[in-house]
Structures are given as structure tokens and as C-alpha cells.
Structure 1
Amino acid sequence: MPQEVRHYLAHTEQGQSIRSLAREAGCHASTILRQVRRYETRRDDFLVDRALTRLGAAQSTDLAAFCDVEDEDTMTLSVEINEVVMPDEAEIRTEAPRVLRRLNEPGACLAIAEDMEKAVIVREDASGQTLRTAVIERPLAEALALKDWVALHSDGRIKRYRITTAGRHALKRFLAEGEAARAGLTDETNPFSAQHGEHGMRMDRDARGKRRRVRYNATEGPLLSLARRRDKSGEPFLAPELVAAGERLREDFELAQLGPRVAQNWDRFLTASGKPDFATSGGAAGGSEAARKRVANALSDLGPGLGDVVLRCCCFLEGIEATEQRMGWSARSGKIVLRIALVRLKKHYSEASGNWSPLIG
């Protein structure tokens, strides 16, 4: 259950004050007040209202919603659970990927009505016919709405819900965790980084030469991709300080292009040594003058070859294979040259301004 929901139920069902909840959470009272108002507004949503009602009844009894049943033999009253409160975390992690994957299909929606015991996921095919692709329990549908993974799309006797951006991000995390578990990399992965990437599949060869499908992040730069690799000794291929040096160069590169007109002639660095032409046709330069000087000094210190690879991989975010083809290098040699260039770049920054980059202001 999200922490905001706990605060809302503690205030509305248990009667805790806004200030006491703020003291327990270590935040300002206005933050708790906004959370309470947000979920009070969300009660207009059918599934969210049913979920909050179900959780509120459970909290008021410290159990689920239950009823008293008379035992015929002992003539005493016993407590019996009347219905399931909400699915636990293990059930959500098991069922949510299947449901979100179906909802992520084109034209798919989750349909439910007040008199329906279960929710269905339907979508229209190319011929216009409605296909039922999944059936889920109502508590699970309520949990998805409470987590903001689905949102109300059309209201009426039949309510229709569609997957949200947060739901797609959650699906990406579940897929990343599942693939990491199959590959035996559960302890070294960060599934939350997968939700911000656009992943694709490609064919690659493993160490034994067999072709296999590889899932990759199409929006991740080559520097971070190489930083996750390991060498023969098990150490990271790129040390954190080398990655920091490459990111520092990219930061200066981006700051140098903040002006409205940018006419830096970076092609001169790719063909011959020398300083780039930062002047525009009007004689004015865009971006930060200090950042342009830092980039020019760093690339001049690296020289041709090393300067080319860091400029393409760190600043232009060009892939290693594309850089090898452009530079005419042999396969699998670009990452070695990049590591050598980053070592030289780190030494340049240490000699120029120490371990800390200058303040942006």
C-alpha cells in the first residue's frame, strides 16, 4: 500500500491529526494535507473508492471485513473472514506483469461494473471484434487503480480503464527483474533504471559462438553500458572515476550549447588537430564561454584519436561499433581506446582543476 494511502486512512478512519502524521513521517503538515485531499478527490474513481473502502473496513477491525458465525456444537460465536481485503505484495508481483502486459496491447482496456465479481481485459482486433484476453479478481483490479497503474478512461454502467505511464514503467521494472533473475544477475541490477529506457531485442553471439537474443536499452549511452561490464578479474571495465570524467566532459559540452545560436565547428576535431571555431556568423558565441574553453582544452590535451573517441562516445553518445567503423578501427578495439582516453581525461581534469568540477554559476 502506498505511504500516501496509509496517511489518508490513518486520518479518515483512525482519526489521527494531520500534524501528528507529519511528525511521524518527518515532513511538513501541508504535505500530508495534500496527500489526504488528493485521495479524497480520487474517490470519484470507482475502483479507487472500493479499494479505500475495503482497506478502511480492514483497518477499523484490525482484520479483514468479517462477520460473526454461530457454531452449532458449542453455541458460541466465532470470527470468520468474509472477503479478501487486498492482494499482498507477493501476489501483485506475480499477477501484475501478466495483467499489465495485456493492458499494454494496442486498444486494450480493463472493464468492470458494480455487479461484476471479476474484471475483464478486452481489446478490439483488426476486424472490430472484441476479444477477452484476461480475467482478474476485483481486489487485484482495485490494487492496480490504487497504485495509479490504471486510470478511468470512460465512465458509465461499464467502467473502462487503461494503463497509465506509471503502469508502463512498472511493467518495464517487472520485465527487467524477470530477465535479470533468469540471467542470475538479480543482486546487481537496478530495475528502476529500466523504466526510463526504451528496450529492444537483437541477435548476438555468446562466448561459445552461439546466437542468442539480447535485450538492450536503446536510450542508454555507451559509457554507462561499458561501466556495467566486467573484465577477466571481475572488476568493472570502467572505474567510477573514469565514468565521472566522461560525464564531466559531457556536462561542459552541454553547457557550451545553451545559447540560442550554436555554430561550433566540431568537425575540425574529427579531422585534424586545432581549436574549434566557436564563433557564429555574427561574431557572437552561444552557451557558456568557460565551458567552451574547458572542452577545447580537454580535447586539445587528448589530441587526435583519443579526443575523437571521447567526443563521439561521451558527447555525441555514439555507439562503440559506430565509432569503430567511422574511425576505421578493428572490431572490439574502440572500448580499449575509450578507456585509455578516459584515463588521460581524468589526469587532465586532476591537473587542471582538481577532482571537483567548477560550479555552473
Structure 2
Amino acid sequence: MDNIMASTVPTWVPEGAQRYLAHTEAGRSIRDLARSAGCHASTVLRQIRRIEMRRDDPLVDAALQSLAETHFADQSRRQEEDDEPKPSEPAAKDEEFDREALRVLRRLCETGAVLAVAEDMDKAVVVRDSGAAGATRTAVVDCKIAQALALKDWISCDNPGRISRYRITPTGRTALGQLIADAENRARARAEYGMAEAPAAFQHRDATRPSSAPRARRIRYTAAESPLVALARRRDRDGKPFLDESLVRAGERLREDFELAQLGPQVTQNWDRFLTGGGRVGFEGDAPVARGSSEARDRVARALSDLGSGLSDVALRCCCYLEGLELAEKRMGWSARSGKIVLRIALQRLKRHYEMQAESDRRIG
């Protein structure tokens, strides 16, 4: 792809979509695109035809239309205004897209999970079929992210309609594995060079480990699903599920509020106040926030404050950050296999918190 096209569209846009936009919006001929790419014209033609056929998908069509309006409308004027490149901006946007894609694809890998998109809505939701208990909303997704996932063929819809339901594709599962590996490599690099995200309260554990000791594998459960879903499949000594459906729903409810809390203008909300300190209900922000996201933040803060120190930590890490139990145990300095017991206690108290909240709301009403 030549430099003009590379500077026009984001780097996450697939190569075929880039050539399709260059042909339909910028007016470049197929032979010209093939000459720039160093391939045969029939290769470019097949890519363009494939993208055109995929425009029946509402998310793909919306993604292409948005890219055309944003990056190809009055292109000559924009190139004159953007004489000085901003190298840090594309990198930041790419990292943000990878982070959101990782979050959404992980949820879509859960059994019975679909991405529901309604017409003329700014947000989409990931819903997981919980069997007799009904459907559980596990994530809220900006439609721009959903459009990008569809354009990259990471999600697909068999029957588009007023409410379209998308499922993860084999290509999406492969991409999820690569995104998980990239995220772990970045986290490992930060830890090795003194930029670990863990608070100082449990940094002393790494100091006692010999520098030559090999790093243990951090995640044992399937990395594409929630730790709660993995624990719910395990059985205790009596043969009953280690986590019953009510405890999983309590954890998913905390996760749902946590997701909603990230949708306001302060999308980089810092919840570290609740880690190893018990947290406090108060919240301070510098920018105004939307009412819905503010209420969700308050619900998360009340729930974590009610759990108290230790329990709020493991709930936030496993339910909201989707950290594995082994990683949570290491960061908190717990013995091996003790995290699942503490997590179950936290979910039991979280379930009681939501039941008390519901009872209080009924009395007020």
C-alpha cells in the first residue's frame, strides 16, 4: 500500500477495504492500485468485489461509509492542513482499538454469547444466553468498535435485520489469541522494566524471587472467557457447581455496571483505590459525566465499598478486569488455590449486597 493511502485511513482497516475505498472514493484505477501494491490487477479486483458483496452487512456498510466521510471527503483540503504528521496519534488509536477488541472478543467467546446491534443506536451489547435464567448482558460496545470488528471479519451476522445478532468468527478467534499474546507481552515488558501496574503493597513478593527463576504461566483457565464462567463449570466435593448461577449473575452485574461506568467522558477511570485498601464510596472527577455512567460508577463504588478490603480487590480483578485466579493470587500474596475460595466469599457477599439494595428500593417505592 502506498504512502498516500497509508496516511489516509487507520492502520486497523484491512488491506482489501483500503483498496476498495481508494478505488470508490479516491477514484484510483484498479491497475494503479495493483501497480502500487506490486500485485496483479485481478488480485485487487477480487478484493474490491468481496468488499462490495459484504456491504449487505449493516455494520460493514456503516464502517465503510464512516471511513469514506471521515478520510476521503475533501481529501485535498485535509492534506494541505495536515502538513505536519502526528506520529503518536495513530499509535494511541491503534492501542485503544486493540484494547476494546480484546474486551469484546473475550466476551463473544463465551458460550451462547452474541453481539446485538439495533438500527440507529450508538451502542451495541454483548448478551449471553444463561439458559433457564434468561439472557445476561455482559458488555456494552460502541458501534464504531462493532463496525471495525465486522469490517475485519472478526464477527459476522447470518440474518441482518432490525436487531442484528453477530457471532465471533474463526478469524476473530485467531485474532483474539494474538491480541491476548500482545497484551501479555506488553504487561510483561512493563513489569520487567519497573513499570508494573501492581501497587507497592505486594511488590515485596517479586523481590524475594531469584532473578534466574523462570516466570510461571499466569493464566490456567481459557483466556477467552470470564474466570467466573470457568469456575462455574467446576464441581465441589458434593458434585455441585463451585459457583451457582446466582453468584455468577452477581459477578456479571458488577461487570455490567463496570462496563457502563467506562462510557462517560472519563473513559480512563481509575479504580485502583479499591485495590488492597477496601475503597471508599466517594468519587472525584474533573470533567462532567453522563448520568447513566455516573450512576453505574456509584453502584460499582457502593458494591466494592460494601465488600471491604481483600474481597473488593479480588472481585474487581476477576469480575471486572477478567484477571485469572493465579495472577490475582500472586499479586495479592495469597497461597495457591486460595483465590477461588475468597472469590466465592466475595460473590456471596456481593449477592447479598444486591439483594439488600433491591429490598431497599422496594421499600422506597
Give TM-score scaled by structure 1 length.
Answer: 0.45
Q: Which has the larger radius of gyration?
A: 1
Give TM-score scaled by structure 2 length.
Answer: 0.44
- Identify, as 1 or 2, the structure richer in helix: 2
- Identify, as 1 or 2, the structure richer in strand: 1
Q: Structure with the greater relative contact order (CA < 8 A, sep ≥ 6): 1 or 2?
A: 2
